[in-house]
Each structure stands twice: as structure tokens, then as C-alpha cells.
A and B are shown apart, each in its own frame.
Chain A
Amino acid sequence: MQIQVKCSCGGEKCPEWAIIELQGVVEVQPWYEGRPLHNLQIGTLCRPSSQENYTLTIGYHELTGSKVTLKKPLVVLQKVKPTPPGTPNTSNPSSSPQVELDVVGIIRHKILFKTRPKALISS
């Protein structure tokens, strides 16, 4: 079986994606657990000065980090089935459905927060 990797723009304008990376896992407040996460705000990303240093405030914690360039780029691939959904599969049922991988983006940089969170003490 062969799965073709395609890029619809021919490499001309593959959109850049970004990664915000931090240690550990982001957890929601206990009172919010079980509710849908969609649209929920995680925190605030700040660039305090002209240096490539950043802070990320999540709840009462603050992380400090910096923008880094990846040693090797990451390509974002998306599995796609070219046959539109709902079309009856007329081909041999024993053959696996034709799948393609689409290049939907490329990642060259991330904002990396390597430090453990620091508690913000309110006055």
C-alpha cells in the first residue's frame, strides 16, 4: 500500500503554525472539570520587553520562557480521505480505503517555557 504525501500549495505558501510548549499538563480548576473546554481561556502570553523573553500566566502561576527555533522543522500532516463522505465504497472491500496525507502547515519556532511555574503572590 502506498500513501502519497501531498502539499496543495506546492510548497509555495505552506502556512506556519506555532507551538507554545510548557512542562507538565494544563489542568482546569476543579469547579470547571467535566465541562467543555471550547473557548475557555487558558492564560495570557506576554512579551514584557524587546528581548525574546515571554511570560505565560495561567491562573495564579507564571512561567517564563523564550522563543526558540527548532533544530529541524516539523511538518503538520493531516490524514484525508479523497472520497467525499457518504459515497458508497464501490471498490474491492478487502482493499483498504485510499488515504492521503496533506501538508497543512510547517512549524519552525516555538515559545518554550522550560521553568517550573512560579506562584504569583497577590498583594
Chain B
Amino acid sequence: MEQQLGSSSFQGPEAVLNMQPSSSIGIAYHPLFGSHPDLILLELDDKLLPDLLLHQRVSLRGQPDEDAVLCTQSKTYAIKFVGTSNSALLVPPSHLYQLSQNSQHQEPDTIIPDDGKLIVPIIQVAPGNMELLEVAPRLDKLKLLLSQKPYSYEEALEDMEKDDKTGLYRWPDLVDMVQASNGELENGLMALSALEIDGYWRIVDEEYMDMILRMLLQNSILNEWSLDELDEDEVVSVLVADGFPCNIARHCLHVYGSKVVDGTVGRNAWRLDARRVGVHFARAILRSGKMKMDNFMEEWLRKIPEGMNVSFSMLEGEVLTDKFGVETWVYAFRVSSLPSTPAERFAMLFRERSRWEWKDLEPYIRDLKVPGLSSEGLLLKYTRRTQPTADAEPVFSAR
């Protein structure tokens, strides 16, 4: 059977890519030619190659009912199949797809001529390739998952660890379920003020946070602590003595304060953040519904600790005001409770109000990040801008 060619007679892609001038080679179907659905061609930027090849930190993420995304360490990409009407004949390296001695695919009536010409085999006609498009991480699901079972005062009181872990998620569970890169997932957990308790990522119930913050503020009066320089060890030990777990006491400083950069060695100091404390009490006050502006301001300022400077503008993205006649009313409308995809976000905003002034709208779209689209682009796409006169404030309504 002189006409049969073993795999050793086949040339690899280099025979095509490094062809010598005035030479020719035969192109033939590989003995293992087929549709090979296990092969995927993925087009990607040269700058992503090191992530993929060297660091091996690239993965596909998604549940069976979701379109898979590709995640690097810091970014998320949608995957799009791009078909082609051309025939892309794929030439594999010769060490792949080697034939065993008695391969069933070797046809006795092979018609490859035995004239000494080099043969390059085609393994597949590629139907197209995958392309990547950078997208925002799908973090709404993270919020949804962690909101199922917030860590509460009641749970903290229970000494025994409960066996029922439904609604609780470890890091690998989140990686499995949330379409975001590791970096984006970490940022998302930080933005939600989540913390790891017994190996599970949790958000702490707002009422529980309220209890511990008020206890901290009371203690600061009793012990004459400066809110600009709270000693972590001292605060934590006092709160623990008051019945709060150590990790929650520390968490309280993280949520409402920022670390003071201090040269003193071996001492962690924290400064309470006026905006975060102010937002916390505004939320607590408005939980029961809308209020007249004057009443709200009176109650709010009464709750703010002595010496802390707050202003109503700190509540941007947290509250909205409405005018009814001479009265102004305040009500809670939190940007953090809105969807993070632009289409859904704008739909919710225009359901809340049909017309928005820029100064009101801006805090509610500031955090929207769509790769490849500027905030002007977002506004053009999702809103209609009207400006009655040149010096009037522009007003945005639904498209």
C-alpha cells in the first residue's frame, strides 16, 4: 500500500507559513478530518495573552442558564460567536492528531498521489471564531445572594454554629455563581460592606449595625474618646464587653470609619466618617416613610454625634426631595438598591420620576460603568434631554 500516508508524511503549519519561493505543497483532508466541535477559536488582544498562557488565571464563568463570560484576574468579557461564510481550513501541528498504526480512518483507496510532494493536512473547516467584548461584572446577583440571609443580632447571640447553611456562600460558591472576575468580586464585596464570618461572606443586618454604631457613640461620650482618633483595641474590647462579637466590632470601624495614617507603632486608630455616619442615620429615620424636610433635619441632626459636621448634600444618591406647595418632603431613594445595568437603571429612575434635573440625576448614574461608553454616551442612549432656554437647567426624560 504505497499510497497510504502515515502521519509522519504530513507536514505541519510551518510548511505553509515558511514556504520557500518557487515551491508547492499539497493540501489534503486529514485522516481525522471532521467537524471537531471540541475545538474553539478564540480571538483576543495580545495584551490578554500573558494572563491566559503565562499566569493561567483565565476562566469561563456562568450558570447553565446564563451566557458564559470570560474572566481574567480583573476584568469580565462577554463571548460572542462570529460566523464566517469563508472557508477557514485549519492546519494543526503534526504532533497533534497523530494516527495509530491501524487507524480506522485510513482508507485503502486513498487518492493522495505518491509523487514525493509535501502534504499539509486540514483537520477542520472552522465555522467561525469567538470574540470578546469587555462588559461590566454582573454584581447585582452578588447583592441578591448576600441579602438572602443577613447576619443578625439573633444569629450572633446563638453560641452554636448552625448546620443549616442554605443562603450562605463561601468564596468558591460566589465564584461559581457570580459572573465577575476575582478583582471585581472583591470590590463588590467591599462595596456591600460584606465580611467573612466562619468562612461565609455575609452582610450585616442594618438594625444590628445600628445597635452597634449607637453603642460605639455612647461609649465615646462615656469614655471621652475622640471620634477622629478611635483606638481600635480599646473600642473593640469595650464593645465586646457590651456583648458584641469581636469581628462585628471591628467591622463597625471598617464600615463607618477610615484608618488614620499614624506613625505610632503598634496602634490602629480610626476616624469616623461624617458622610457614612450621616447616611446611616438618614436611612434609619426614613425607614418608616417620607418626612417633612424640617422634621427630618431636626431629627437627623439630633442623631449626629456632637462635633461631627454633616450637611444635607452628603445624602446625594440616598434621598430625594419633593415639593408640595410650600412643603418640601424627603424620602429614601438609594442608588445602592438600583440595578447596575444601564437599561434597567434608567427604567427604574424614570419609573420613580418622569423628569430629572441634572443635579438630582447625576448621583444616581455616577457609578454606572459601561466599558466603551462615556457618561455622555449613556445619557444620549437612554435619555431625552430638553432645555427650554439656553440658560435653563437641562431636564432628562425617558427616550
B22 in contact with A78 (CB, 8 Å): no
Q: Mark B19-32, 1 if CB is under 8 A from A, else 0.
A: 11111111111111
B89 located at the interface, meaning its Cβ lies under 8 Å from any Cβ of chain A in the complex: yes
Contact of A119 with B by CB under 8 A: no
CB-contacts of A50-90 with B (<8 A): 50, 54, 56, 67, 70, 72-80
CB-defined interface of B102-117 with A at 8 Å, one 1/0 digit per residue?
0001110011110001
A48 to B22, CA, bound (A): 5
Is the CB–CB distance between A15 and B19 below 8 Å? no
> In the complex, are the beta carbons of A24 and B96 less than 8 A apart?
no
The answer, yes or no, to whether B347 is at the interface (CB within 8 Å) is no
Known: A2-B61, A15-B93, A47-B24. A37 touches B29 (CB 8 A): yes
Residues of A within 8 Å of B92, CB to CB, are 17, 105
Q: Which residues of the other chain, B, contact A6 by a CB distance below 8 angstroms?
A: 56
Is A121 among interface residues, defined by CB-CB distance under 8 A? no
Query: Are A21 and B16 in contact, with the CB atoms below 8 A?
Result: no
Contacts of A77 in B (CB 8 A): 39-42
- Find B26's partner among A11, A24, A44 (CB 8 Å cutoff): A44
Min CB–CB distance B256 → chain A (angstroms): 35
Question: Looking at chain A's contact residues, is the secondary structure mostly helix, strand, loop, or mixed?
Answer: strand
B90 touches A19 (CB 8 A): yes
Contact A109 B87 (CB under 8 A): no
Chain B interface helix/strand/loop/mixed: mixed
With known contacts A45-B24, A72-B44, A1–B29 Cβ distance under 8 A = no
Contact-size category for B: 35 or more
Convert A85-99 into 0s and 1s, putting 1 for each residue whose CB lies closer than 8 angstroms to a CB of B: 000000000001000
Interface size of A by CB at 8 A reads 59
The residue on A at minimum CB distance from B109 is A35
Which one of B46-54, B216-224, B243-251, B258-266 contacts A?
Answer: B46-54
B392 at the interface (CB under 8 A from A): no
CB closest residue in chain A, given B92: A17
Give CA–CA (A36, B43) in the complex, Å.
31
Q: Is B176 among interface residues, defined by CB-CB distance under 8 A?
A: yes
Per-residue CB contact flags for chain B residues 81-100 toward chain A (1 = under 8 Å, else 0) read 00001111111110110000
Q: A47-B19, A47-B23 are in contact. Are A37 and B89 (CB under 8 A)?
A: no
Contact in complex: A7, B56 (CB < 8 Å): yes
Q: For the complex, is B119 an interface residue (Cβ under 8 Å from A)?
A: yes
A23 to B58, CA, bound (A): 34
Q: Is the beta-carbon distance between A39 and B87 smaller than 8 angstroms?
A: no
B56–A5 CB distance below 8 A: yes
Interface: B129 (CB within 8 A) = yes
Taking a contact as CB atoms closer than 8 A, the residue among B39, B96, B120 that contacts A45 in the complex is B120
What CA separation (Å) do A3 and B175 show in the bound complex? 11
Task: Indicate if the CB atoms of B111 and A105 lie closer than 8 Å.
Answer: no
Residues of A within 8 A of B17 (CB): 16, 18, 67, 109
Neighbouring A residues of B45 by C-beta, 8 Å: 72
Q: How many angstroms between the C-alpha atoms of A15 and B127 in the bound complex?
A: 21
Contact residues in B for A111 (Cβ distance below 8 Å): 16
User: Are B86 and A22 interface neighbours, CB within 8 A?
Assistant: yes
The CA-CA distance from A38 to B104 in the complex, in Å, is: 11
- Additional 14 contacts, C-beta under 8 A, given A5-B70, A7-B53, A45-B19: A7-B56, A11-B50, A19-B89, A20-B89, A36-B105, A37-B29, A38-B105, A41-B113, A42-B122, A44-B25, A67-B17, A72-B46, A75-B44, A79-B40
